Amino acid sequence: MTPKEQIIIVFTHVPDMACAESLAQALVSAQLAACVNISSPVKSVYRWQGQIETAEEVKLTIKTTQQGYTALADKIRELHPYELPEIVAIHVNEGLPEYLRWVAAETLA
């Protein structure tokens, strides 16, 4: 796998299931992600503008390539309802080779 095909996993949280499903569909339809997993609601505790906040959110786990990260992050920012959305990525160092090739093949780079 070339560096351009390096697989990454991107995480973001959205306020509800409808938003999660809409964002996931948009990312996969645009081939910015090969797959998006939508998790059950989670409780988030965070500091925002000097206050401790608690919110129920839905987590998205997004599989894409390093080369596609910028376009993916731009699309998330465009569609995300939060002023400052969480968009973080980690590199996949190991994985089933066939699965990693599938992610690379299904994602525009």
pLDDT digits (tens, 9 = 90+) for 45-69: 999 999 999 999 999 999 999 999 9
Is the pLDDT at 109 greater than 80? The verdict is no
How far apart, in whole angstroms, are the C-alpha atoms of residue 10 and residue 50? 27
CATH of the domain at 18: 3.30.70.120
The pLDDT value given to residue 108: 86
In the prediction, which pLDDT does 53 show?
A: 96
Distances in Å between the Cα of 2 and the Cα atoms of 5, 9, 52 are: 5, 17, 43
Show the domain range for 49: 3-106
Overall number of domains in the chain = 1
